[in-house]
């Protein structure tokens, strides 16, 4: 259907009714009640609209622990890409995703319908979830909402992605004049672009699927929220240009035709617990251009290009990029980087990317054959960009398929750049760990003495259990990086590797 932007439409009235009817294991009244402490066990599941593709590898059931009534989850079909390193062609694979809301604890039962299950894994590994395996069925418990990936027999693509939220007790009302409300079902808008006015909230109820791009243009104090899905959105799912004080919360972005989200020439944008799955060419997750005070908090990203990319000028966007935070996120890049910083800028009027915080991150995978595009975290200033004042802390990198743990290069990539980057100055990396066997050597490459990498410190860098420090036992003629087969060139200065005790002593002196 074509949905007008007026607030009082048949869609809204029908959506509110359908939402009440579609709640499983919880009455509509209870869904909107406020128990004050979220202590009472609650479970809400949502029907998948029948016209949205599904996948048939898994059956998934959930119940409130320990003995609630089992509810069967509907499964969506995210798609992911893998690049053939010989031909450069891409192959797209179908996968599985389901979502639900709960408070308290839930027991999850996953059955692999293809059979032959010998090995299971629930990721991120840092959660420490060890499922019980009963033939082709596994069970595990969640005590609070977490986004996880269930893998059977180490299958990369034929996996199950489970997205969970707390039960909403104060959902926006369909009758609120400041709410653009989409209830359960599939919705389109004229022109496939939903332009959001200032001060308005776009709400996707659980079970809602919106196929339009959500567009914030020169607006402020607007919001996109809800437990619904943005699906197959032309031109990308979210576009935010020239706007400020914007909030994006909880939504799932599935198979967009373009970036999951673009945030450009904007200020004070908070993206919390958004999830994005993509496979199409240039299928980035969230990209930032020439913006300030952008925060990504608690997001789950699996993308067939960079999950999160941070740039300055590109296209019609101009200006420095400052005060960017990526925290509490889980990232999986089937192509390119989980986090990429610095490629695009303005040669004619050089710009700066500064004050970046990357904290409490789980990186599940990275696969990139091209050396110029490797690095679970890549700092690659080009186009006369300067990257400065970067803090990377509490990052857990699981074994990935192909790439580097971290990559810093002052670059002049003629495919994208018209000049070399100005440099990288001031990077502090604390509590970064990698466990695995597939990582290529990490590279630190200044361009020349005028375009260098300076003042980089690693504190408590742990590679396969080894704490890497300048004080570690090694032949006196070895570089510290030789111990882990990393490399830096002569245009990298003041590179340090410290234990936590050494860093504390240095700070106290």
What does DSSP say about strands 339-341 and 321-327: parallel, antiparallel, or unpaired?
Answer: unpaired
pLDDT tens digits, one per residue of 230-285: 999 999 999 999 999 999 999 999 999 999 999 999 999 999 999 999 998 778 99
* Model confidence band, residue 362 (pLDDT cutoffs 50, 70, 90): very high
Would you state the pLDDT for residue 489?
98
What backbone phi and psi angles, to 5 degrees, belong to 290?
45, 55
What does DSSP say about strands 71-72 and 148-152: parallel, antiparallel, or unpaired?
Answer: unpaired
Would you state the pLDDT for residue 434?
98
pLDDT tens digits, one per residue of 425-469: 999 999 999 999 999 999 999 999 999 999 999 999 999 999 999
CB 26 within 8 A of CB 44: yes
pLDDT tens digits, one per residue of 9-40: 334 434 433 343 344 444 333 444 444 445 68
- DSSP string over 14-26: HHHHHHHHH-BSS
Would you state the pLDDT for residue 339?
98
CATH homologous superfamily, domain 34-165: Dextranase, N-terminal (2.60.350.10)
β-bridge mates for residue 96, sequence order? 160
pLDDT tens digits, one per residue of 73-117: 999 999 999 999 999 999 999 999 999 999 999 999 999 999 999
Is it the case that residue 43 has pLDDT exceeding 80? yes
Task: Tell me what the mean pLDDT of segment 349-376 comes to.
Answer: 97
- The mean pLDDT value of the chain amounts to 93
What does DSSP say about strands 321-327 and 292-297: parallel, antiparallel, or unpaired?
Answer: parallel
Q: Write out the H or E segment, with its range, that includes residue 404.
A: strand 403-404
CB 43 within 8 A of CB 26: yes
List the structure tokens of 147.
């986004």
Is it the case that residue 422 has pLDDT exceeding 70? yes
Q: Return the beta strands (E) in 105-212 as ranges.
A: 106-112, 120-123, 132-134, 137-142, 148-152, 160-165, 179-182, 185-187, 193-195, 201-204, 208-210
Domain boundaries, the chain: 1-21+172-257, 34-165, 284-508
Is it the case that residue 68 has pLDDT exceeding 70? yes
């Amino acid at each position: 259907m074509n949905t007008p932007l007026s607030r009082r439409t048949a869609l809204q009235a029908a959506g509110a009714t359908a939402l009440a009817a579609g709640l499983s294991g919880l009455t509509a009244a209870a869904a909107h009640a406020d128990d004050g402490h979220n202590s009472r066990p609650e479970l809400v599941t949502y029907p998948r609209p029948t016209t949205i593709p599904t996948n048939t590898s898994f059956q998934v059931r959930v119940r409130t622990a320990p003995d609630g009534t089992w509810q069967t989850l509907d499964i969506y079909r995210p798609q992911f890409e893998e690049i053939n390193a010989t031909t450069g062609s891409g192959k797209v694979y179908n996968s599985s995703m389901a979502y639900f809301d709960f408070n308290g604890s839930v027991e999850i039962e996953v059955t692999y319908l293809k059979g032959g299950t010998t090995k299971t894994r629930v990721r991120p590994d840092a959660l420490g979830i060890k499922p019980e395996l009963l033939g082709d069925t596994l069970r595990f418990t969640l005590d609070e909402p977490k986004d996880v990936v269930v893998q059977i027999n180490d299958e990369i693509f034929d996996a199950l992605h489970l997205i969970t939220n707390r039960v909403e007790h104060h959902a926006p009302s369909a009758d609120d004049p400041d709410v653009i409300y989409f209830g359960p079902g599939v919705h389109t808008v004229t022109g496939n672009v939903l332009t959001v006015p200032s001060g308005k909230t776009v709400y996707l109820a659980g079970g809602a699927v919106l196929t339009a791009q959500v567009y914030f243009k020169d607006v402020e104090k607007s919001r996109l929220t809800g437990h619904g899905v943005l699906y197959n959105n032309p031109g990308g799912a979210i576009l935010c240009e020239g706007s400020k004080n914007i909030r994006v919360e909880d939504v799932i972005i599935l198979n967009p035709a373009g970036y999951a989200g673009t945030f450009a020439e904007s200020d004070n944008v908070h993206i919390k617990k958004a999830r994005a799955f993509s496979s199409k060419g240039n299928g980035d997750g969230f990209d930032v251009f020439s913006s300030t005070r952008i925060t990504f908090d608690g997001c789950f990203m699996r993308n067939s290009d960079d999950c999160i990319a941070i740039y300055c000028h590109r296209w019609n966007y101009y200006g420095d990029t400052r005060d960017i935070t990526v925290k509490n996120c889980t990232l999986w890049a089937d192509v390119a980087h989980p986090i990429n910083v610095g490629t695009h800028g303005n040669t004619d009027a050089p710009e700066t990317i500064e004050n970046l915080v990357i904290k409490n991150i789980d990186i599940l995978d990275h696969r990139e054959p091209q050396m110029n595009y490797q690095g679970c975290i890549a700092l690659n200033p080009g186009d006369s960009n300067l990257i400065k004042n970067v803090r990377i802390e509490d990052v857990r990198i699981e074994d990935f398929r192909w790439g580097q743990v971290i990559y810093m290069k002052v670059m002049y990539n003629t495919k994208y750049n018209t000049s070399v980057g100005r440099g990288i100055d001031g990077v502090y990396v604390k509590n970064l760990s990698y466990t695995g066997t597939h990582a290529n050597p990490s590279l630190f490459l200044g361009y020349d003495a005028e375009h260098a990498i300076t003042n980089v410190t690693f504190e408590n860098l742990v590679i396969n259990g080894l704490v890497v420090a300048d004080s570690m036992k090694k032949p006196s003629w070895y570089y510290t990086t030789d111990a882990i087969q990393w490399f830096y060139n002569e245009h990298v200065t003041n590179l340090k590797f410290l234990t936590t005790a050494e860093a504390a002593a240095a700070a106290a002196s």
